[in-house]
Amino acid sequence: MSPQSVLVVDDEPNIVLSLEFLMKQAGFDVRVARDGDSALEAVRQQPPQVILLDVMLPRRDGYEVCQTIRANPEWRDVRILMLTAKGRQIEREKGLAMGADDYITKPFSTREVVERVRAYMPQGET
């Protein structure tokens, strides 16, 4: 198991593509999911250290995915970074309330995303 793995969850193929590229460049092990169900499936197979989770997902939205992960104590070490194109304060608060660790608004600075993900990676194992 790679100690530094990232799960990218988004339904926009181009955004997934860019995030995948960025995470790989940063040296993380990257997996991808296009909707809520497959995201949870991926976590179940192997919990990543960090999840980049879009809010607006087909089938099961980001809040629900976040809640489900937080409900399982085995996954409490998984860091969740929410991504959203809806920039309202209420959504930000809702995400944090659901157990997200951080919240990034689209469009984001690529450098910032990488730094944030790195910051949430468990220290000392890099």
Contacts to other proteins by CB under 8 A:
11-15, 17-19, 21-22, 25, 34-35, 38, 56, 58-59, 85-88, 106-111
> What does the alpha-carbon distance between residue 124 and residue 89 come to, in Å, rounded to a whole number?
34
Residue 40 belongs to what H/E stretch?
Answer: helix 36-45
Nearest distance from residue 101's CB to other proteins, in Å?
20
27 vs 62: CA distance, rounded Å: 25
Q: Which is nearer to other proteins, 13 or 27 (CB)?
A: 13
* Cβ atoms of residues 73 and 65 within 8 Å: no
Task: Tell me how far, at minimum, the Cβ of 34 lies from other proteins, in Å.
Answer: 6
DSSP notation for 79-105: EEEEEES---HHHHHHHHHTT-SEEEE
Q: Measured on CA atoms in the order 124, 101, 35, 40, is the torsion positive or negative?
A: positive
Of 25 and 72, the one with the shorter C-beta distance to other proteins is: 25
Least separation in angstroms between CB 91 and other proteins: 9
Task: Between 17 and 97, name the residue whose CB sits nearer to other proteins.
Answer: 17
Compare residues 76 and 86 and give the one whose CB is closer to other proteins. Answer: 86
Closest separation in Å from C-beta 76 to other proteins: 29
